[in-house]
Structure 1
């Protein structure tokens, strides 16, 4: 029987996708993990999945057209500030990966996010994203009084405010006089793919229905759907997706193991504080928690599982 090391080496040298054997192995590993964890395979990705959305939006013409549809005014040109831009506010702060991070000819910045599954605190997330855009700007040497106008846009497969609208647009205004704008140059827009009101254009409604019902009714939606198919055929992006899924799953498993180890250490400390004998603690670790004897001894000695 082959050892695990020999089996992995053989798989790494196998080429199923017309790529290098290492790339083929990465894809195969990711697909097996996805099957085991019931996450989407690469072929199942749709425009409503953030990875697919980010790749489709690399088509500049489609990205510009979608922005024009959302904003309601023509845009001469857009520049990608970075593909799936990752912003770090500080070394100990949570990083944010933006699906689409672009600017138009007037230097107005747009962060477009695809949002599936009803997430809590979405308005607070929009505030956080707007804040880190400003920090990214000032880190580049821009003075606060010269900050560019920016919009954070969430395209949701659900209704974020349960009011039946297709679009919710927010800006800062005076509560006592709604005609008085603050003029801070920020805006937040939430789109709902399940809106019921007659509050958007037919073109916008067709786009949102494509997300929710997969219907293709306009030329723009047809071109989006063709781009989705093109992305699915891209083996380089397939590998990137599978690698990302593998890393995510492995990080979760590692976090679960670390959490389990912390609980076991707390259990041992608690038992020792109650003057329970090490023999009884060890037996409990082996019988109740199904730990091998070596790991039980290691925990009793105050060490860490390897």
Structure 2
């Protein structure tokens, strides 16, 4: 991937995690976004934490929450921007919500009723479930008695910017989701929502900031080099696999180098690795 393919900061949408995190670091904006999504006013207790890591053991997979916050009623929120469709998102949401709970009770707390209510919110520019809804809200309920709710305090919300049920959701929510996918002056101006205007002001502030612009370039370059290193490692492993196959057929290092059009010294180093692995 060439460096020239970087998308300028000013052209990012809120579906891009970098812009989303930078915008939501403003606690007032974070409050307004949560209030808009949940349809009620929310007052956060502390500054929003972006990229919050949760780990309970070195042997257990950690998670890195996009946006974590607690409100004045001690309800916990984790908001995730998920730009790419992946087939593990439902189970990922289960894992995330479980990991959110691990740090909420101190040792010795006698009752699990003291667990905070928690909300896991995933925003995505695709319809994960295929029913054309802007919002899919999941709470545990009894299969045999649907009106019987488990009341365990957990809520998972999946938001879809491409929803079609405008008559079933608040207009402000639908406008916000359209704005998330197309974060432009034009889309913001079309909305009558004061919250969306405030969000857009923050977006413009972030996009104008020279400091954040430098931070964005640094973050992009780090990811670029990580991808390049991963790609190079993958190429090397594939070459090593081919060398191993040729060795089994009795080919010499020079013959393999000639067949694969590679530097003989590189092939010899790979053969040493293969032989060492075979002895271990």
Q: 2:90 aligns with which of 123, 134, 138?
A: 123
Count of aligned positions: 266
- Taking a change above 3 Å as real, the CA distance of residues 275 and 56 of structure 1, as seen in their structure-2 partners, is same
* In 2, Cα distance between equivalents of 1:46 and 1:153: 18
Q: Which residue of 1 aligns with 2:141?
A: 173
Unmatched 5+ stretches in structure 2: 276-280
Change (3 A) 1:33 1:234: farther
Q: In structure 2, how many angstroms separate the alpha carbons of the residues matched to 1:74 and 1:220?
A: 11
Distance 2:242 2:57 in 1: 35
**Partner of residue 87, structure 1:** 54
Q: Which runs of 5+ in 1 are unaligned?
A: 1-31
- Counting only pairs closer than 5 Å after superposition, residues 127-166 of structure 1 correspond to structure 2 as 127-138=94-105, 141=107, 143=109, 145=112, 146-166=114-134
CA apart distance, 1:266: 2.4
Distance 1:142 1:39 in 2: 50
Shift of 1:84: 2.4
TM-score (norm 1): 0.78
Q: 1:62-96 CA deviation, whole Å, 9 max, x = no partner? A: 21122112222222334236232122354355543
Q: Deviations over 1:72-131 (max 9, x none)?
A: 222233423623212235435554332210010111110011222333222112112112
CA distance in 1, matches of 2:10, 2:239: 41
**Other structure's SS at 1:79 match:** coil
Question: Over the residues paired in the alignment, what is the CA RMSD in angstroms?
Answer: 2.4
Q: Pick from 180, 205, 209: which aligns with 2:174? A: 205
Counterpart position of 1:223: 198
- Residue of structure 2 aligned with 1:269, choices 207, 229, 244: 244
- How far the C-alpha of 1:169 sits from its partner, in A, is 0.6
What SS is found at the alignment partner of 1:190? strand
